[in-house]
Structure 1
């Protein structure tokens, strides 16, 4: 019996977590892989994170109804609010489990990029009139891009290219399009490629335009992309890693602590982590997990009364 107990002891110390984010091949799936590796290294192997391919932020939230204490998922805070209120895509699908969702830590935001070729001469949104733009299909970036064209008086004044976003860089290089719209973490790989290979201008929004979008203001620092001489002011949709109250406080604490202590090392291999800092805590509009709150209070990081 003593021998059996000794053999079993390491298993007791191991915490297994399922992390569900986005489709394989996306930057957010890759972030999940990086978080998994960071958790293993940062915890000395005590935290084992299995990354699952997700089918979208809404589905990630819906799965809360059937998942257990080991479930961690990513989604924008706004969707959690809609789920808890039974609104929009969650109308008629309310569930008590949604009220038990709790935040752990922010991850890189979905950041809007309006990317124009240098040859197009476009420097502002007004300059886009008469140009050909690729929005892609079905994605957050495509929907948001179409919304901004309407908000800024460009509806019907630009030609929308009928192509997939995966073809954007090639289409820009061969002159088929004047620009494309993409949303993702920054630096965005397709923008990096376009800036390095053909030269681009990433458009900035005025403060008035940012206010019109009703999204979160975000600044991409100068020098992020080749040829970018100044800061880019754009908009973003915050994204957060969540769990539920089913997760025990100690596990939530260790996940949150290990994430923040590993973030600097992750940023050395993937620049998008450099954009995650204490300032993003304000984008978490729902409640934090008590275990996460314990870490934030120890670390002296900001936590509001609404997040408690």
Structure 2
């Protein structure tokens, strides 16, 4: 009898020791972009902010992603600890089984829920000051570097067609990584890049060569069918006016497999530490509650709880 009681007590104590860390620590996988990109770096910053802001109770492991589509596809095999980033439009396409998700639909796509917005992919048409280009109409006859295979390259090519510039602009055959050096050397008149703002390559070009970042008028924004975004004056060296451009919103998502408390803590910790993140990485300064309107689908109930507590208005479709 004594030995049996001793065994039960020992088992209970061991179980308690094993359970304690699990209740105190939440582990999450954050799937972002390819290593070396700004969005992967953002993931690292989110992980650090979660650990600091939760006193070590939320541990985020950042995984390299192979693209936004793949991030969505992995929902099928992931559990409640999965957080990933993607544009809201891809979630809508996945849930509808359309475009790149045609024939690949899965019931788990309907369980995707948003947590919080992150910096948007923002279009920049960057022209050297020496080029004399101040509007899209001035681009005719100029040499532009679009890069290859990226969202910015595809979007830049689309805009040239939309604005009647197809065949009227010389497209440089070079990688975007060479853009700033080529601009400074006079090999190109400008380049197109898409990323969070302030964009590091635009910051470098503005500081070292002097640039004009083109604005779109309301009609041009409407033609692109993208989200209008304003880059405030003073963001880049020599920029004395706001820049009106377009963007592709990006959001951090999870699924209904995640429990409400974890989703609540992740969302709360993100917003409460966003200002501190912006001190070290200016692109977080472009994230505010105004971006909540870019979330076109449902938000996780745990995150909804935080937004209600914080007095942040949500639409009926988001809840």
TM-score (norm 2): 0.95
Q: How does 1:79-94 map to 2 (within 5 A)?
A: 79-94=90-105
Match of 1:49 in 2: 60
Pick the aligned partner of 1:186 from 197, 205, 215: 197
Match of 1:132 in 2: 143
**Residue 269 (structure 2) pairs with residue 261 (structure 1):** no
How far apart, CA to CA, are the structure 2 residues paired with 1:275 and 1:198?
Answer: 25
**Residue 287 (structure 2) pairs with residue 296 (structure 1):** no
Task: Look at both structures and tell me which one has the larger radius of gyration over its CA atoms.
Answer: 2
Match of 1:7 in 2: 17
Deviations 1:194-216 (A, max 9, x none): 00010000000001111111110
Shift in Å, 1:302 = 1.5
How far apart, CA to CA, are the structure 2 residues paired with 1:193 and 1:55?
Answer: 27
Shift in Å, 1:10 = 2.5
Deviations 1:67-126 (A, max 9, x none): 111000000000000000000000010000100000000000000000000000000001
Please say if residues 278 and 302 of structure 1, whose CA atoms lie closer than 8 Å, have aligned partners that are also in contact: no
**Residue 276 (structure 2) pairs with residue 236 (structure 1):** no
Match of 1:272 in 2: 283
Q: CA RMSD in A?
A: 0.8
Secondary structure class of the residue paired with 1:217: strand
**Residue 53 (structure 2) pairs with residue 31 (structure 1):** no
Please say if residues 74 and 240 of structure 1, whose CA atoms lie closer than 8 Å, have aligned partners that are also in contact: yes
Secondary structure class of the residue paired with 2:23: helix
Gaps of at least 5 residues in structure 1 are: none
Shift in Å, 1:12 = 2.4
How far apart, CA to CA, are the structure 1 residues paired with 2:216 and 2:275?
Answer: 29
How far apart, CA to CA, are the structure 1 residues paired with 2:188 and 2:314?
Answer: 45
How far apart, CA to CA, are the structure 1 residues paired with 2:104 and 2:155?
Answer: 25
How far apart, CA to CA, are the structure 2 residues paired with 1:140 and 1:306?
Answer: 28
Deviations 1:239-259 (A, max 9, x none): 000000000000000000000
Secondary structure class of the residue paired with 1:267: helix
Pick the aligned partner of 2:211 from 197, 200, 204: 200
Q: 4+ runs of 1 displaced by more than 6 Å? A: none
Deviations 1:15-57 (A, max 9, x none): 1000001001111000000000000011111100000000000
How far apart, CA to CA, are the structure 2 residues paired with 1:171 and 1:4?
Answer: 64
Deviations 1:269-307 (A, max 9, x none): 011011111110000000000000000000000110000
Shift in Å, 1:3 = 4.5
How far apart, CA to CA, are the structure 2 residues paired with 1:295 and 1:283?
Answer: 18
Match of 1:156 in 2: 167
Match of 1:107 in 2: 118
How far apart, CA to CA, are the structure 2 residues paired with 1:48 and 1:267?
Answer: 20
Shift in Å, 1:6 = 5.3
Give the count of matched residue pairs. Answer: 308
TM-score (norm 1): 0.99
